[in-house]
Amino acid sequence: MTRRYFGTDGIRGTANGEVMTAALAMKVGQAAGTLMRKGSHRHRVLIGKDTRLSGYMLEQALTAGFTSVGMDVVQVGPMPTPAVALLTREMRADLGVMLSASHNPFHDNGIKLFGRDGFKISDADEAAIEALIDGEVALASPEAIGRARRIDDARGRYIHAVKAAFPEGLTLEGLKVAIDCANGAAWRVAPEALWELGATLETIGAAPDGFNINRDCGSTHPEALAARVRASGADIGIALDGDADRLIVCDETGAVIDGDQIMAAIAGHWQATGRLRGGSVVATVMSNLGLERHLAGMGLGLVRTPVGDRHVLKAMRESGCNVGGEQSGHIILADHATTGDGLLAALQLLGLLALSGKPASALLRVFEPLPQLLRNVRYANGHQPLEDARVKQAIAAAERALAGQGRLLVRPSGTEPLIRVMAEGEDKALVSETVAEVCAAIEAAA
């Protein structure tokens, strides 16, 4: 079924653009509030946000929508997406809302919805909310209008929760950690958590101004962190994204370590200590074949899913696996969280570093990845380049060239008008050639 508002990860768009307006946010609040208002108890929704300028506007519009249909609102201010999921469950809220466009620039924003169990709401609930957005909702009577309040201790609650997953009795004393908060939602909680555990900090991306979220910083731009690691002599660098559900790491040389290596390191340690469940790791079709081979050498499987942490989490719940994620840095540790959590995953790696005494370059570069190349091709809205005969021919030719030596993946982005072209294989030159040919065909059709 075609969706008008919801994409692969909630509703997302340019602030005050075609979709992401205060008017729509109010309607989302009214629709979601109407759907989730079940039972005779006093209903509650928790709203968090990242540091985008438009967050102020959308937060108040959502609050108006929810209170107008009789739901009380708890505002927690700038908080990571996983913190909103956690606090929704802990505070027995009927619904949690995160205002963020993740790793996108400041001018975008989005609405992510969590159920009272802390998991993202179902496709069926999203469809029901869409129907209510475009329909009529019953407003509360004057005496039943909801109340709104802001709580001040949310940050401390989340820090306590992520620290509880850190090995008991272990500290980070003696470790120098460079952390890039992407000028986003974790700009306060992440440095505070690391400081409380005893780390010496080098902090960047922790001065949000409403406009600089993800700008030349964070997990999608690790160059600044790598430079700070080298300049400061840090033992490791940690980069989060705008809503802190994603993690990319730099070792002590400044070399970047992606989500595949992070999953391999955590899964290996958990397997050795009897904590890994399900006999596999769950990752997406984008994960490197080197990860799959490495896990097979440990007697573990790799369950592949479509791109998106929603798909990863679904497969984890179905298979009983407790480690999963994406190459891009969404790491889901199901024993501790209901969604990707960059800070939680970082603390697991820092615990390994503290326990082993090894440098990050030795501990976290677990396998040798196969040559892999990803390129994005932008196309005009309304075009369907993957339906073009020239593109289909180029894809078929590339698949024939890589047969038995690697693989090709061509897919549209779920959030932007982009076609993502990825190839990997033993022959780096062949990988580069096939990606270039497919991208050229898409550009000609776009």
Determine which helix (DSSP H) or strand (DSSP E) holds 399, and give its type and residue range: helix 389-402
Look up residue 46 and give its two tokens: 């928790």
Q: In the annotation, is 102 catalytic?
A: yes
Look up residue 105 and give its two tokens: 């620039």
210 secondary structure, DSSP code: S
Dihedral over alpha carbons 28, 34, 37, 38 (to 10 degrees): -130
Give me the residues paired with residue 179 across strands.
203, 238
| Cα 49 to Cα 40: distance, rounded to the nearest angstrom | 29
Q: Which of 68, 102, 219, 287 is catalytic?
A: 102
Query: Which contacts (CB < 8 Å, 24+ apart) does range 285-288 have?
Result: 285/409, 285/411, 286/326, 286/327, 286/328, 286/374, 286/409, 286/422, 287/259, 287/260, 287/263, 287/326, 287/327, 288/260, 288/327, 288/369, 288/370, 288/372, 288/424
| Cα 199 to Cα 176: distance, rounded to the nearest angstrom | 6
Which strands make up the sheet holding 256-257, listed edge to edge?
200-204, 176-180, 236-240, 247-250, 256-257
- The residues assigned a catalytic role are 102
